[in-house]
Amino acid sequence: MKAGEQGQILAVNAGSSSLKFGLYALGARHPHLSGSFEGLEPGGTPRLKQAGQAEQALALSAGQTPFDAALQALQTLLAATPNLRAVAHRIVHGGGLFDGPVRVDAQILARLRRFEPLAPLHQPHNLDGLQRFAQAWPGLPQIACFDTAFHAQLPAEEQRYALPPASEEPALAGVRRYGFHGLSYDYLNQRLHEHSARARASGARALLAHLGNGASLCATRAGRSIATSMGFSALDGLMMGTRSGAVDPGLLLHLLHQGWDAARLEDLLYRRAGLKGVSGLTADMRRLRASSEPRAQEALRLFAYRLRREAGSLIAVLGGLDVLAFTGGIGEHDAVLRADLCTGLGFLGLRLDAEANAAALGEAIRPLHAAGSSIEVWVVPTDEGSVAAAQAAALLHFS
């Protein structure tokens, strides 16, 4: 039987300027068609990128937006697709309402819109994309798959902030730590269990590092999330590409007293901080590595320090460490950063294989630990679409 004859799921991730897609046959781990559209920001030049093919510029007709052009091109690509059963969407924030995938209707979409202020770089674009797909494929199930769902069962002490209960302060209703990058962590968890006997062991303690333009850490015990660096929003924790990560709340109060408003604070913390803000150059780790500018080097040192500091706190929560895994654009490709963290954890008996680390370029899952290391180290190229497609198929009882 050819791929897809039993049915296929289209997994998509709509961003502010891009649309990633993968077409998965039911039960398949890997997509048999995948790629991304770039340049989808207002006024942008839309382009289609597919592995092994030359980049293709898309023509815009009169009145057509770049996203319109991308959606039209995707419909053309899928015109001969047999038995397309659903579209699975990566949605960053499900709040406390959704701890698993859900078929989206107008009412659920409106409820998800309420979380846009908590993830302004992602949630509005995720939901706009979902709405456009529903219009383009009316009647086809649109399934929301949430980054927060992997962390839905965090221990109470991990969820709680040291604030009064909502019964005393109603404005604090729903204020808790949620955690993000859950589709990626779900995928890492699955792949580690396939490749590592230590990860499969009862009570295995793992630290998962999703490091990209957005960055976070997740501590798991026996494959279950017990702590994570991101909290109520996708802003907390590690320094990121343009996001600050954790800052003293007193700093925000100070800026408010200086006359700043919420919009200016949001712009600073989400768009003008992180690697780009510290370096004054870029959020691109590759360009920073190639730069000799003092501020670029300062940004690299701070990123590595904040990673090591946050890792130490989560390892303390775990009570030790058995497995460390890297993923994301930086985690999969930046051997220098991986080596820096592993050196910093050397006091735990972690020993990195320098040759294996230097050779790992994100093309396949690889072990990076040296013989005799007390901790296994892996690099795992992530595939959030695979998890979203599987979740959608399970929700709709496809087999």
The CA angle 243-335-332, to the nearest 5 degrees, is: 65
> Residues within the annotated binding site for substrate?
90
Provide mean pLDDT across the span 196-201: 97
Residue with tokens 């600050």: 244
Q: Report pLDDT for 82.
A: 81
> Residues within the annotated binding site?
13, 20, 90, 210-214, 284-286, 329-333, 384
For residue range 319-329, what is the model confidence (pLDDT) as tens digits? 999 999 999 99
Write down all domains in the chain, each with its CATH number in brackets.
8-146 (3.30.420.40), 197-384 (3.30.420.40)
**pLDDT above 90 covers what percent of the chain?**
92
In this structure, the number of other CB atoms found within 10 A of the CB of residue 193 comes to: 14
**Strand arrangement of the beta sheet that strand 84-91 belongs to:** 56-57, 47-49, 33-38, 18-25, 8-14, 84-91, 142-146, 102-103
The CA angle 56-62-66, to the nearest 5 degrees, is: 40
Q: Report pLDDT for 323.
A: 98
- Chain-centroid distance of CA 310 in Å reads 18
H-type helices in the chain, by residue range?
Answer: 66-77, 106-113, 123-136, 156-159, 182-195, 197-200, 249-257, 262-271, 274-279, 285-290, 294-318, 328-333, 335-344, 354-359, 384-395
Q: Report pLDDT for 341.
A: 98
Residues 84/86/92/95 CA torsion (nearest 10 deg): -170
> Residues within the annotated binding site for ATP?
20, 210-214, 284-286, 329-333
Residue 181 region by backbone torsions, left for phi larger than 0, else alpha for psi between -120 and 50, else beta: left
Rg (CA), the chain: 21
Entry pTM: 0.95
Provide mean pLDDT across the span 301-322: 98
Per-residue tokens: 242: 């343009």
**Angle formed by the axes of helices 66-77 and 123-136, to 10°?**
50
H or E element, residue 215: strand 215-221
Per-residue tokens: 387: 């998890």
Q: Are 392 and 101 in contact (CB under 8 A)?
A: yes
* Residue 132 clears pLDDT 80, i.e. is over it: yes
> Residues within the annotated binding site for Mg(2+)?
13, 384
Task: For residue 47, give the 3-state DSSP assignment.
Answer: strand
What's phi and psi for 11, nearest 5 deg? -105, 130
Q: Report pLDDT for 3.
A: 53
Q: Please give the single-letter amino acid code of residue 45.
A: T
**Strand arrangement of the beta sheet that strand 224-228 belongs to:** 224-228, 215-221, 205-211, 323-327, 376-379, 366-367
Q: Please give the single-letter amino acid code of residue 307.
A: L
For residue range 200-223, what is the model confidence (pLDDT) as tens digits? 999 999 999 999 999 999 999 999
Residue 201 β-bridge partners: none
Q: What is the mean pLDDT of the chain?
A: 95
H-type helices in 49-204, by residue range?
Answer: 66-77, 106-113, 123-136, 156-159, 182-195, 197-200
Please report, for residues 318, 383, 399, the alpha-carbon distance to residue 389 in angstroms, rounded to integers and kept in the order given.
31, 10, 12
Q: Report pLDDT for 2.
A: 56
What's phi and psi for 123, nearest 5 deg? -55, -45
In this structure, the number of other CB atoms found within 10 A of the CB of residue 274 comes to: 26
Residue with tokens 């790629």: 35
At residue 45 the predicted structure's pLDDT band, cuts being 50, 70 and 90, is very high
* Residue 1 clears pLDDT 60, i.e. is over it: no
Is-catalytic flag, 147?
A: yes
Task: For residue 193, give the 3-state DSSP assignment.
Answer: helix
Least confident of 58-62, 241-245, 264-268: 58-62
Nearest to residue 311, comparing CAs of 337, 333, 286? 337
Considering 128, 147, 261, 322, which one is annotated as catalytic? Answer: 147
